[in-house]
Amino acid sequence: MNSSWLAELRRLLAIIAISGVIGWIMGYPLLLIVLGLFSLILIWLFQLWRIRTWLEHPDNPPPESYGIWGHIFDQIYSIQRKNREARTLLQSSVDYLEDSFASMHDGVVMVDNNGSIDWCNAAATSMFALQFPMDRGQPLLNLVRMPEFQTYFTAQDFDEPLTIEAPGEDLAILQIQITRFGDGNKLLFFRDVTRMVQMEQMRRDFVANVSHELRTPLTVIKGYLETIIANDRELDPRYKKPLQQMDQQAIRMENLLKDLLWLSRIESVRTVQKTVNVNIAAMLEEIRDELCESHPDTPININIEATQTILGDYRELHSAVSNLAQNAIRYNRDNNPVDISWTQEGGELLLSVQDHGIGIDSIHLPRLTERFYRVDESRSTQTGGTGLGLAIVKHVAVSHRADLRIDTRLGSGSRFTLAFPLQAADI
């Protein structure tokens, strides 16, 4: 490159020198130098014109040239070639991605920051009767008109997926997951979860039916046991203890069936139906009275600072707090007091149940709310728990859009908090 610059410079000097000498011989040195420079400018302009004409048809090979102009042509050509290669590579990556999305069974739709369709795959077009590429640029909400989807999409809160019935007659159930990317663009995945939902429903129905069917024989067995134990004077003393144990186990089984039925019942109720204002303060007083009667040895303190009521289901919230309070008593030590509070902190309303009991090792926390998960099997069985309490609490929290937080230290006690967003409250 430097050598071509030097050659161009030499050419310039040579023109000035030659035209100067000829001009000096003719008696007009300045005029001839100007004429020489002018002809050089003409040559440069001609080369610029060739560049422009070539760039208008960049697929043509570059024009032949020499010196600095040859270099410029070659460099533009090499930049063009690299750009073309990069574009081909990019296009093949885009094609690859589009092909893989297109072959998916799940519907995929990309929308821009105005909510208009950018791209969608074949599965999405058949799910929502879209026409692609004709519908490119159309607002998605004009074409996918399901009210639940419209509310979900407009609310812009995509932390949890949305499950809805698909349009059409085949009663399919879709799960919609939205992720943001780029400058406000969104990627929407529509998954057919009909089979999963049906299986889940079958499981729930099975548990509910089995629990229901077991109740009647159990009631009969319990009835006979109670009658026999009540008339223990006529009873052979050898049978007294076994019969009492049978009675205890029957009570345990009854509690287990009650919890199983309750859990499958609250699982089948949908979040949107929770529209009753629950007076939490009054509910806590009621729970305290119930617990004082059943566990007179444990002091229950109630601290109510918040005045808000919660939009929700009274029985569900009552059962969640009762379960937490019963656990607090069950895993307590030395009849320490149990503190229940209803407070507001920042943008949240907190319903906490705190004990000063045995606490929980943090390794158990990720699985604690699973059905039948127990930290200490022998202790839980002794204390009469069913293993479903925290599963019920977790479910009630989720269906009320509350967060279940567990702060605990082994040997010092635990605090279970249901944190409701202020929007859940009726202020």
Using CB under 6 A, list all residues that contact ligand ADP. 323, 327-328, 330-331, 355, 357-360, 368, 373-376, 380, 385-391, 414
CA–CA dist 118, 182 (Å, integer): 13
Least Å distance between CB 203 and ligand ADP?
19
Least Å distance between CB 348 and ligand ADP?
21
Q: Which is nearer to ligand ADP, 109 or 368 (CB)?
A: 368
Least Å distance between CB 255 and ligand ADP?
9
Q: Under 8 Å CB-to-CB from 301, ≥6 apart: which residues?
A: 337, 338, 339, 340
Distances (CA, A) of 352 to 64, 284, 312, 416: 84, 11, 17, 6
CA–CA dist 125, 6 (Å, integer): 64
Q: Which is nearer to ligand ADP, 123 or 391 (CB)?
A: 391
Q: Which is nearer to ligand ADP, 274 or 330 (CB)?
A: 330
Least Å distance between CB 243 and ligand ADP?
25
Q: Which is nearer to ligand ADP, 180 or 333 (CB)?
A: 333
Cβ pair 409, 364 in contact under 8 A? no
Q: Which is nearer to ligand ADP, 62 or 359 (CB)?
A: 359
Cβ pair 371, 391 in contact under 8 A? yes
Least Å distance between CB 111 and ligand ADP?
42
Least Å distance between CB 345 and ligand ADP?
21
Burial class of residue 1 (count of CB atoms within 10 Å of its CB; 0-12, 13-18, 19+)? exposed
Q: What's the angle, vertex CA 176, arms to CA 173 and CA 180, rounded to 5?
A: 175
> Chain centroid to CA 425: how far?
24
Cβ pair 295, 329 in contact under 8 A? yes
Q: Which is nearer to ligand ADP, 136 or 333 (CB)?
A: 333
